[in-house]
Structure formats: structure tokens, C-alpha cells
Amino acid sequence: METLTTFSHVVTDAVSHLNEPGFAEALSVGIQQWVGADDTALIRYQDTGAPTIEYTLPLKRRGKTTLDRYVTGPFLLDPFYRAATIDGQFGVFQLNELAPTGFKESEYYRTWYRDCGFQDECGLLIKLTDGVVNLAFGMTEGSRLFSKRQINLLEAIFPVVEALTRRHWHSAASPASDQFGLRQRLHVALSAFGASVLTRREREVIELVLLGNSTRLIAEKLQISTETIKLHRKHAYAKLDISSQAELFYLFVDAIACHTGTHEEDPLLSYHSQRP
């Protein structure tokens, strides 16, 4: 009964902020404290334009944050983002349900999770009329993973959170016209990354590496041997003039940030043209 009473206060506070700037904070922090998570952020992905960080805990609580850079392109590699926008999965998910085998060895994980001190993440993925919301909760290195009880609590309240979130953003303003189609262009850029120098198979391998897939899983997906995967990766690294997954990740981030092309143009072309 105490749990229900406490949550009713969270809902009351969130309802009182509907259609006001404080809604995202009231909802995020209220549930974070109620469920016992260490961190929270609410990210909105509209159908067009870059993602919007509607709320995140203050910098002193999060430590070294990378969310500002996250919205410029690396969000394309986020398992929660891909689950909702590409696979159409909505509801409550833990990171290990969505991430591919080998994800925790990826540079994306090392950058976005380690720098924020995350040990585990749980996201409430909600479909809006003009996009998607991820209400994310994190557990830091000093904490346990999300417990079954915590997951059950989040699943129990999901319909309420979904209804409130949809109500708040039901008439959100459209993004600026110069942002129209930005996310679609970035998706194309991810697929075209390296197209100017790599073979089709090398591009496929590199994209799967960026997404955090292990060598074995890439071999299974492409139905070729692990030794062949290693050879394609070696050749791709040589052509890109890099020697590690870390260098690959940062090359991708920088190229996406510089991307000014259209359709299937390799973002590396924009990146190299802007280098001194």
C-alpha cells in the first residue's frame, strides 16, 4: 500500500505539470526515486530533427556526461533507440534484452555507459504520434543490476506513464524546417559510412562492429566464417587508416557530425573535405 501511495504522489505531481516545462523532470525524478534507480534521463526522438534531451540529472550527479554529443549522431547506435524506431518495440526493457552479444566490448558502450558510471540501464519506450520517448533509468557501478522487483514495478506503471507522456506531447510543435529529415539522413549516413573506400561486405562488417556485435555474431548474421570477418575488418581498418575499434568509433562520430551530403553519399567525404 505504501508503494502505491508513493506512486500516486508521483502521478499527481506529473499531472500538475502537464503541458508545462517541468513535466519531464517531475515524471523522471519522481519515478527514479520511487523505483530506487541511481540516474534518469528522458529523451524524445521526433520523426524529424535531432533527438531532444527533455530532462537529465544535473551534471554533478551524472559525472562526465556525453549526452550533448550523443544527439549529434551516436544515438544511431543506441540499442534502445534502435529497438523503438527500427524494430517497433515498446514497453519496459533492460539493456541486456536489446544489446547484441559483444555490446559491452564496443566503444559505444565504453563511451556512453562507462563515462556515466552505468552498470545497467532500463528504458520505458513509448510511441508518440510524432516520434518516440525513452524514459531511461540507470544503475551505477556501485549498485546492483535492476532487480526483478524493480522491473515488475516499472512494467506495472508503464500504462500510466505511457498515457501521461502521450498526453503531454500530443500537440508538440513540429521541429524547425531546416531540421526536416535530419534523422532519416543520418540513418542513410550510417549505412553509407565508408562507401567511398570500402567494399559492400566490408561496410556491412564495419556497421555491425559499430553496433556492438561480436565477431561470432557478425559471422552468424552474414553467414560467413569468423576468420573471414576478421580479414574484412583488417582490410577495412587499413583503408580507413585506423587500427582499433576506438579509432573506428571516433572516426564515425566525427564523420557523422560533419555530414552535409544527401542520399547515399559517404559521410567521410564531408569529413575529409573539412579537415585542414
DSSP 208-247: HHHTT--HHHHHHHHTS-HHHHHHHHHHHHHHHT--SHHH
Mean pLDDT of 25-38: 96
For the whole model, what pTM was predicted?
Answer: 0.87
Q: How far, CA to CA in Å, does 202 sit from each of 70, 236, 276? A: 25, 6, 27
Provide the pLDDT for residue 186. Answer: 77
Quote the DSSP letter at residue 64: S
Helices and strands of the chain, counted as H and E runs: 14, 5
Mean pLDDT of 239-255: 92
Domain ranges of the chain: 2-168, 181-274
CATH architecture of 2-168: 2-Layer Sandwich (3.30)
Residue 260 has pLDDT above 80, yes or no: no
| Of 100 and 184, more confident | 100
Distance, C-alpha 270 to centroid of its chain = 24
165: closest CA among 63, 56, 32, 14? 14
Provide the pLDDT for residue 262. Answer: 58
Residue 65 has pLDDT above 90, yes or no: no
Residue 141 has pLDDT above 80, yes or no: no
Mean pLDDT of 151-157: 96
Mean pLDDT of 36-50: 91
216 phi, psi to nearest 5 deg? -65, -40
Please check whether residue 212 is in contact with residue 77, taking contact to mean a CB–CB distance below 8 angstroms: yes
In tens, the pLDDT along 188-241 reads 888 889 999 999 999 999 999 999 999 999 999 999 999 999 999 999 999 999
57: closest CA among 83, 35, 37? 37
Out of 59-63, 88-92, 251-255, pick the least confident: 59-63
Mean pLDDT of 131-149: 91
> Distance between CA atoms of 162 and 226, rounded to whole angstroms?
42
> Distance between CA atoms of 212 and 261, rounded to whole angstroms?
26
Q: How far, CA to CA in Å, does 188 sit from each of 28, 86, 106, 182, 211? A: 32, 13, 22, 10, 15
pLDDT band at 171 (very low <50, low <70, confident <90, very high): low
Percent of the chain with pLDDT over 70: 89
Q: Is 181-274 a domain of CATH 1.10.10.10?
A: yes
Please check whether residue 122 is in contact with residue 145, taking contact to mean a CB–CB distance below 8 angstroms: no
pLDDT band at 180 (very low <50, low <70, confident <90, very high): very low
In tens, the pLDDT along 109-130 reads 888 877 777 889 999 999 999 9
Bridge partners of 122, per DSSP, are 94, 137
Within 10 angstroms of residue 106's Cβ, the number of other Cβ atoms is: 24
Percent of the chain with pLDDT over 90: 64
> Distance between CA atoms of 22 and 20, rounded to whole angstroms?
6
Mean pLDDT of the chain: 88
Q: How far, CA to CA in Å, does 201 sit from each of 99, 113, 151, 224? A: 22, 29, 39, 11
Provide the pLDDT for residue 66. Answer: 64
